[in-house]
């Protein structure tokens, strides 16, 4: 049975805020320790920035808690065993960073153990409990999915002698990809939606106005839009969507049979993905996969 105790969830969120900040600092220090390996150092720097974002989300949750109308039902307790399991490993990482000569193999091992500890399941539990913060929780779940995927891809590409003892292939999928398809032409709208359905949840809109309302309600990993539409074209939809949430900048894929010089200049200036109709289905899916990997 859940416990109606606001203090319990606050305790969990406060701990997560502290731990995510701590992990971010460790990754930043690790990046400095292996600065001669530019690729690895840059990867660790990105992880540090990710963890900072996670800590900021927890800060936002703490600010939100007092505004809740009802207490939150909490299903778990952050017991001492869980705290010790995560914190002891981080303390060892911290102590090792304080010594000279920490190796790449050792950093990879600490990284894998940190990401595969109880930390992320507890973090995702909190994210899931705040569904009423809908759009921000969706965005954070998407960020965590990318964060874990980057770690999997990086470790998967390492030679055998650098592989950690933890099987990072067992990382669970955090969140199903969510897509939005915007087109006033129904046959193509349905075709594009059916292609993306293999990769996640798909929503559609027959016009830019309807699409803007959806963008304000949910966070989308990929947004596909025709450019030439009545009342509001795809470019104006992009402008208003990005004005609402700048994190959508790299998530648009446009298509059109033709574009005038002004629109073409806008697409190039903003480095936007664009396919000219008729386009190949394979080309479309490859471009969307490129967007998802960003």
CATH number, position 34: 1.20.1260
Residue 186 and residue 285 in one domain: yes
Residue 103 and residue 244 in one domain: no
Residue 210 and residue 112 in one domain: no
Residue 177 or 133, more confident = 177
Residue 149 and residue 192 in one domain: no
Please say which residue of 122, 143, 170 terminates a domain: 170
User: Whole-number mean pLDDT of the chain?
Assistant: 89
Residue 36 and residue 150 in one domain: yes
Q: Is the pLDDT of residue 239 over 60?
A: yes
Section 189-217 average pLDDT: 94
Place of tokens 């903003």: 270
The pTM of the full predicted model, rounded to 2 decimals, is: 0.70
Distance (Å, rounded) from C-alpha 91 to C-alpha 124? 23
Residue 195 and residue 123 in one domain: no
Residue 105 and residue 192 in one domain: no
Residue 10 and residue 151 in one domain: yes
Provide the token pair at 80.
Answer: 């001492």
The domain that holds 248 is classified in CATH as 3.40.50.2300
Please say which residue of 109, 140, 170 terminates a domain: 170
92-122 burial, b for 16+ CB within 10 Å, e for fewer?
ebeebbeeeebeeebbbbbbbbbbbbebbeb
Instruction: State the first-to-last Cα distance of the chain, in angstroms, to the nearest integer.
Output: 41
Candidates 182, 176, 174, 133; CA nearest to 151 is 174
Residue 120 and residue 49 in one domain: yes
Section 153-180 average pLDDT: 83
Please say which residue of 170, 202, 231 terminates a domain: 170
Residue 70 or 268, more confident = 268
Residue 213 or 71, more confident = 213
Residue 229 and residue 156 in one domain: no
| Confidence (pLDDT) at 5 | 45
Domain of residue 246, residue span: 177-293
Residue 156 and residue 82 in one domain: yes
Structural domain tally of the chain? 2
Residue 216 and residue 138 in one domain: no
């Amino acid at each position: 049975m859940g416990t109606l105790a606001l203090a319990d969830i606050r305790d969990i969120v406060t701990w997560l805020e502290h731990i995510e900040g701590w992990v971010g600092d460790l990754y930043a220090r690790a990046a400095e320790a292996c600065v001669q390996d530019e690729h690895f150092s840059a990867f660790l720097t990105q992880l540090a920035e990710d963890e900072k974002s996670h800590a900021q989300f927890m800060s936002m949750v703490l600010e939100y808690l007092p505004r809740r109308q009802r207490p939150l039902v909490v299903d778990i307790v952050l017991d001492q065993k869980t705290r010790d399991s995560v914190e002891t490993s981080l303390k060892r990482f911290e102590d090792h960073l304080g010594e000279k000569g920490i190796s790449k193999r050792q950093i990879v091992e600490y990284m894998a153990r940190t990401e595969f500890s109880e930390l992320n399941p507890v973090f995702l539990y909190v994210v899931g409990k705040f569904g009423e913060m809908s759009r921000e929780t969706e965005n954070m779940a998407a960020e965590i999915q990318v964060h874990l995927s980057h770690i999997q891809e990086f470790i998967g590409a390492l030679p055998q002698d650098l592989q950690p003892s933890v099987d990072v292939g067992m990382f669970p999928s955090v969140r199903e990809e969510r897509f939005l398809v915007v087109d006033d032409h129904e046959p193509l709208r349905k075709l594009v939606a059916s292609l993306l359905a293999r990769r996640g949840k798909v929503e559609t809109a027959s016009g830019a106005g309807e699409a803007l309302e959806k963008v304000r309600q949910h966070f989308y990993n990929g947004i596909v839009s025709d450019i030439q539409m009545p009342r509001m074209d795809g470019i104006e939809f992009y402008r208003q969507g990005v004005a609402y949430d700048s994190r959508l900048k790299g998530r648009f894929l446009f298509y059109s049979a033709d574009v005038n010089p002004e629109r073409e200049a806008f697409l190039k200036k903003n480095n936007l993905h664009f396919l000219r109709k008729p386009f190949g289905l394979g080309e479309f899916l490859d471009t969307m996969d490129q967007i998802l990997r960003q």
